[in-house]
Each structure stands twice: as C-alpha cells, then as structure tokens.
Amino acid sequence: MAHWIEPHPTGIYVRPADAWIDPSLPQARALVTHGHADHARGGHDHVWATRETLAIMGLRYGTASGTAVGYGEEIRLGGVTIRYVPAGHVLGSAQIILEHAGERIVVTGDYKRRPDPTCLPFQPVPCDIFVTEATFGLPVFRHPDTGGEMDRLLHALHANPDRCVLVGAYALGKAQRVICELRARGHHDPIYIHGALERMCALYADFGIDMGELRPATGVAAKEMRGAIVVAPPSALNDRWSRRLPDPITAMASGWMRVRQRARQKNVELPLVISDHADWDELTDTIRDVAPNETWITHGREEALLHWCMTHQMRARALALVGREEEDEG
Amino acid sequence: MRQFSQLLDSLVYTRSRNGKLALIAAYMRDAPDPDRGWALAALTGNLDLKAVKASAISEMIRARTDPVLYEMSRDYVGDLAETVALLWPKGEEQPAELDDGSLSLSAVIDRLHSVSRAAAPDALAQMMDHLDASGRFALLKLATGGLRVGISARLAKTGFAHAFNLDVDDVEQVWHALAPPYTALFDWAEGRSARPDPEGTPYFRPFMLAHPLEADSVDLNDYAAEWKWDGIRIQIVGTGTETRLYSRAGDDISGSFPEIAQAFAGHAVLDGELLVKGDTQGGEAASFNALQQRLGRKAVTAKMMTDYPAFVRLYDLLIEGEDDLRTLPWTDRRARLEAYMALLPPDRFDLSALIDAPDFEALADIRAGARDAAIEGVMLKRRDSPYVAGRKAALWYKWKRDPLTADCVMMYAQRGHGKRSSFYSDYTFGCWTEDGELLPVGKAYSGFTDEELKWLDRFVRQNTLNRFGPVREVEKTLVLEVAFDSIHGSKRHKSGLAMRFPRIARIRKDKPAAEADRIEGLKRLVS
C-alpha cells in the first residue's frame, strides 16, 4: 500500500509530487506542517505552508518566500491533491492530507485535541494511512485539565505577593497559549516576557491573538515585578538571566512535568502539566477516530503506541525520524 | 487526602529549608483533626503500618493494565509508586483525574491499620479509585512505608512548632509522652489543654555546642582540654525501663544502633560521641569513614554489627536518676560522669579522656602531633560551665586540627542549588597518577567567596570541553588548592581515595596544572 510515499530518516518523501514533508535537510520542494524548528528548517527552495507558518519561518530564518496554503484549500502537485487541515498544535499548525491513486494519507505533524485559544482545533480526517507523532506515547502521560493547572499558577502567584512566578514556556506556542489562558482566567495584570519571546508574541498579535498588556522583563526594576507573572523560555529558568527577578517561584509549563523526577531535575518548584502534544488518551482516541488501515509513528515513545496498535489489531510501524522532539516543546 | 497529597508534592519540589518549614506549618494549622496528627506521624516516621510489598503493588497494576505498557512506563518513570499512581485506570464512572474528597487521610490510615496483608491490595485498589494521581502516589507511599520526601523528623517537628509559635525543644520534650495522632499535642498547641507531661519518657534534651576557637590561647586553669572525636554526637536517654539514642538534630536513631540502646539500662541522660571500633587501631576508634557504613540504615544486620561494632565515648552527664546536673559546673558533672562509668559495660562505653597539658603551648604541641584518624581536634571547656542549650560564648570552644591541603586540577563542574542555582559551583577535581593521568579525588562546593565564584563560573563557561547532561567537562588547566579534614581509602573512586569535608581554599591561577599534586602523595596522608 501507498508505495507513493517513502519514510526517510530526514523526512517523508512524496514521490509523485517530488516533495518532502518537514524535511530536516534543505530540499527543492518542502511541505511544512508547522513552525517549530524540528519540523520547519531553513534553506528549502520552495515551501508550501499556512500563512502563519510562513510568517513564523520568515521570523526565524528571514526567508518568507513560499506559497501560502489556506486551511481546507486544495492544491495539486504532480498528481497529488494536497490539503492543510488544522492540527491544534500551535498557531498555523496543520495536518497535511495527501490524496493520490484512490488513497488518502494524513501526516499530522505535531497535534493535540484539547482546546487552545491560539489556534484552530484538530480535525480528524479518516484515512488509509495515518502518520502520527507519539511524543507522549506512554499511558503515564495523561494531561490534566488546563484550567486546573492555571488555577494552581494563579494560586501560587496570589499566595506570594512579594515574589514573582517565572513560567518556563517554549517560545513558539506554549508561551502565547499560557498567556491567553491566564487572560481567560481573569488575570489582566501586565505580564513580563523574556526578550527571546518578544518578536514571536508580536507576530501572534499581528494574527489577531490578543494577549493583553505584555512588558519586557529586561531593564525593569526587580520590585516592579513583585506579584507578577514572568514568562521566559525554559533555558532561561536556571540561568543567570533569572537572577534579575524578585525571588522567583520557578514554574514550567510542559507535558513532561507529569513525572516528578523530570520536574525536580529541572529545579522546577511549580510544575504545570500543560502540553501542546496529544497525551496517551488523545493519541489512542485519534487513531480510533480516523480508523486507518495502517498507522505510521514518526517520533516519540513509539514502542508503546506500536504495542497498543498491535494489541488492538491495527497495523502500525515506527519510522524513527531523526532530529525530532526538542524536549522543551513538550 | 488532597490536602496531604498536595503537601507531599510541594515538599518534593521545594528546595529551601524555610520553604519546607512554611509548607508544613501551614498544613498543621489548616488541616482538620485527626488528619494533621496522622500527617505529623507520617512525616516524622512514627506511622507504624504493616507495609504492603512492592511486588503486591506490581501485581495489582498488572491485573488492571497491559503488563507490557506497565513495564515500559515503569522503565521510563523509574519509581514504582509514581508509575502506578500515573497509570492507574479508574472505573468508567469515575472522573479520570479527580480526588473526589470522599477519603480523608485518617480514613486511609484506619483502613491500612485494620486490613490484613492478604486483603490489602484490594483495599488499596478501592481507595485508589477515589483519588487523583497525587493522592494515589501519597497513598502508595504510605502503604509501602516511607514517604522519602527529603525531610527529617526534626524538620517536621520544627514545622509544627512554627505553626503554633512554640519552641521546637519544648515540642521535643513532650513528644515521647505522646502517640499518633497526637491529639494532646494539638490540644496543647492550640491552648485547649495543659502541656502534656513528659516525665517518665525518654525525651531529647538540646545539646550544648561549641564555638570555633578564635583567640590565640586560653588559660588552662579556666579551661579543661579533651579530644574532639570524629564520630557522631549522640545523646543517650534512659528511664530505667526504656533507652533512646538521639542524633544532634534530635532524630531518634535507636533503631540504627540497637546494640548501644540494649547495653544501657540506666536512668540517666548522657552526652557522647558514637564511634565504631577499628581493628587496625587495635580496637581503638576507627575513622569516620568506617562509621559511615552504619549511618542512615533503618534495619541493621548482625553482620553490620560485627563488622562495624559501635561504642560511645562519653563527654558529659546531664541527668542522673532524678538529679538534673545541668546547672552544676562542668568539673562537678565530670566527677559524677567518672563515677558513673563503673555502672556501664566497658565494651560499649568508655570515657573521653582529658588531655593533660601544663600550658597552652604544650597543648598546641600535643594537638599538632595527634595523627589518630578519629581525632578531629581539641575541645576546650570552661571548668565552671553549666550545660546549656546551643552555643554560648566563652563556655566551650572547638579547636579543630589544621586542615590538610592538596593542589588539584579542576576536571568537571556542575551547577549548584539554591542561591547558587545559576552558577557552576560544584567542582570535581583530580590529581596526577605516575603515568600522567588525572583521576578524580573529590568534589567541593564551598570555600570560595562570591567574587571567586563568579570567576570560577566564567572559567567553566569559557573552558568547556564536553557536556554530559548538567555536567561540564573543562580544560584541565586550573589548579585549586583544596583543604580537607582527612583522607581515606575508598572503593568508590577510581583513585582509591576519598576526602572528608573538602573545600576550595584558594584558586591557584599562578600554578601550572602539571605541577599539581600526585595521587601517591595524597596516599601518604591517609589516616
């Protein structure tokens, strides 16, 4: 089945279209699911992606050239009909739907099923081959309700008026989502952000995502940030950068925070289990929803999901793509 | 249960001592009775439940989930209780991640108390269905015995004392008159009843401590000198019917040294140093290294007791029978102690001898000549000093042996914790073998000033060769003068050496790495 697409360690090659999906090496024609660096690399000759993803790639690589594909819009490349459908992962993220020779293939990129105020929700598309991620492909990963995690964050903030809460969140997607979720819980104070987030937050604002008042955390007196939330990329949490903050409570928003030792290793005091990836139940529910003849697993804890597919009489294989899964993204 | 499970979670993630104390205090104030009493028992290690075996818990989860997925999960998570807590499949009608509030901590304890070993897994399973992941984790930790959240009994009691503005030593005094769930303790703390009467129970008395000697000399007519032994300070409290041993932190360590507790049947309170006998020194006290084999063990095997036989070298007698001697001058207490020795079995107890020196200069010579591995230095005690809690100026001094030093080369660095969390402040250093290889001999994370730390941090960042997770390997170019109290043989390190209390004495920017010390030279310092 589907001899017309080929998994390679460097990406998925769509033969009749002579195009690669999320290639990790520069290629002539690249179909890109979303803007995270392990999926969207610079240096391709031509890129097809959503308008938002192209803008993100432009910000990161300075090469905004490419063809914008709207959600639901159909394009044809060498006899393959291609559609981009929301994946619910980050702003502009898409599943790529390929149809050719009477077969339909869905490549999810990264995705999640729970609501996210910064992007459109995942749409399940029934298919013959379902190419899925498995970042949290172990049954210990069950992300709790996002609202409850936000409440814990706000509780810690209000219980410590002389300190600040420093939230580590990946610069693309997680940071903006956390800010929007806080606004939705009624937190309207200014939120301070690390310099590495500024341009991405501005880009989100350009696409109509309202994050309320954001202020740079750099060049501000420590006492001004007392009782405030500060958002920074995870790498800044234990770095000298955080010494400028007023006695910060270190929080981290990531699906990995579900496991105590992972949180402790990162010196996190307030682990927030908030993920932009599907948890175990979302992964298995989605496979049931799209009911493919075969499931291909690109990256993550693929052994466990493979085992689950087999024990549920579903055909599956692991692709072992290289260079995927920047851990900070969880 | 949720309040307790949230407390445990927070304790796991909180690094600072004050942060932990505040968490415990808030819980002790807010949680209902008798939950908070049971929590206090759990935190102080006084909860006596028939432990459910880890194998029974594995079996329980295997029966409820795919065993292959369980194995993969456990492999990834590491901890059994945490894996099962996260993996637990709740029944269809129960919300997946909700503590439904139907189980209080005391209800959990009651159930675990009353259930038979055979019925325990079913009882546990029923309770798990009502809890969230944190609650299941707390439940499994309670059921398997041992919370392991990194706090001592003393810290838990201090947190309790903070909650009600009590003095922790006062709490300690009444503690052993009470049993879980400590209703009388909370009644007293909240002013509903009188202080529980600790008489007749073997309770801890705070230790008298010493200041480091800073003066150039003291008059030996006013001060008596005795050796400072390098073991662990211990208090023996006997009521005539029961004996307990307390560490300096006030933790009950009777269980770790049962042979000492059994050998003491008196009605008295004594202060001494716990040591183990080393055969190399002809039955004298062995180095601290040997004692370490016995520390922190809950269960002691007969072999441990034979290989590392413990004894106590006595310093002071606080109470004899009904007589509280603490207000008497040291000279009088010493005379009472010497007389009391006759009542004690000599294989488990001896007397810390006084150092006979005509004047301070002679004492300095004796101290400089002491090479006994178990000697840490000299104690100077004012002859008229009462036995008072804590460190009081001018009563007792400790005059430690001058540290040994070695010039070592920095090999690896790691980021520190707490206020040093963003700096590379933990250094592994090594010395040269005869073949010109550098082998690690120790690790230090103190001794430098804040300015020196900034400099060292920059050195590490600019001279990194490799990264192994949080550890950086650095260019082998920087010589550190390391001070340490003593050095011992050790199988743990490839160099075969282990330093006691190493710290960075100086940064030797002037010295080429090739001129750092050799392993052979360090071996000659082994005591």
Pair of tokens at residue A18: 């002579």
Query: Is pLDDT of A277 > 50?
Result: yes
- Using the structure block, give the residue that is written with the tokens 């969230």: B132
Choose the closest CB to A242 out of B82, B86, B422: B422
Average pLDDT of B274-283?
A: 66
Whole-number pLDDT of residue B282: 46
In which band, very low, low, confident or very high, does the pLDDT at B495 lie, cut at 50, 70 and 90? confident
In which band, very low, low, confident or very high, does the pLDDT at A330 lie, cut at 50, 70 and 90? low
Average pLDDT of B73-98?
A: 83
- Please give the Cα distance from B321 to B268 (Å, whole number): 5
Query: Is pLDDT of A51 > 70?
Result: yes
Q: How close A270 gets to chain B, by Cα (Å)?
A: 7
Interchain proximity A267–B66, CB inside 8 Å: no
In chain A, where are the structural domains located? 5-140+277-329, 146-272
Q: Which residue has the higher pLDDT, B394 or A286?
A: A286
Whole-number pLDDT of residue A138: 94
Q: pLDDT tens digits, residue range A157-172?
A: 999 999 999 999 999 9
B13 and chain A: CB distance < 8 Å anywhere?
yes
Give the number of C-alpha atoms closer than 13 A to the C-alpha of residue B449, restricted to the C-beta side. Answer: 4
Query: Is pLDDT of A248 > 90?
Result: yes
Whole-number pLDDT of residue B289: 67
Burial A194-231 (b: 16+ CB within 10 A, else e): beebeebbebbeeeebebeebeebeebeeeebebbbbb
Query: Is pLDDT of A327 > 60?
Result: no
* CA-closest candidate to residue B148, choices B86, B80, B62: B80
Full set of structural domains in chain B with CATH: 2-144 (1.10.3260.10), 153-189 (no CATH), 208-400 (3.30.470.30), 404-523 (2.40.50.140)
- Please give the Cα distance from A21 to A38 (Å, whole number): 12
Amino acid at A245: L
Interchain proximity B65–A238, CB inside 8 Å: no
Q: pLDDT tens digits, residue range B177-207?
A: 788 999 999 999 999 999 988 888 888 888 9
Pair of tokens at residue B180: 């879980």
In which band, very low, low, confident or very high, does the pLDDT at B82 lie, cut at 50, 70 and 90? very high
Top residue of B421, B424, B458, B468 to mutate, by most chain A CBs within 10 Å, is B421
- Provide CATH code, domain A146-272: 3.40.50
Average pLDDT of B60-77?
A: 91
DSSP-assigned beta bridge partners for residue B319: B269, B324
Residue A123 φ/ψ, nearest 5 degrees: -115, 120
B116-125, B127-136, B312-321, B492-501: the lowest-pLDDT one: B492-501
Q: Which residues numbered 118-157 in B keep a CB inside 8 Å of some CB on A?
A: 133
B98 and chain A: CB distance < 8 Å anywhere?
no
B15-24, B86-95, B448-457: the lowest-pLDDT one: B86-95
Query: What is the layout of strands, in order, in the sheet containing A67-68?
Result: A5-8, A11-14, A19-21, A29-31, A46-49, A67-68
**What residues of B are in contact with residue A263 (Cβ under 8 Å)?**
13
Mean confidence (pLDDT) of chain B: 89
Q: pLDDT tens digits, residue range A278-300?
A: 999 999 999 999 999 999 998 88
Domain A5-140+277-329 has CATH 3.30.1330.10: no
* CA-closest candidate to residue A148, choices B96, B141, B342: B96
Q: How close B5 gets to chain A, by Cα (Å)?
A: 13
Q: Report yes or no for ipTM above 0.85.
A: yes
Pair of tokens at residue B487: 């050095």
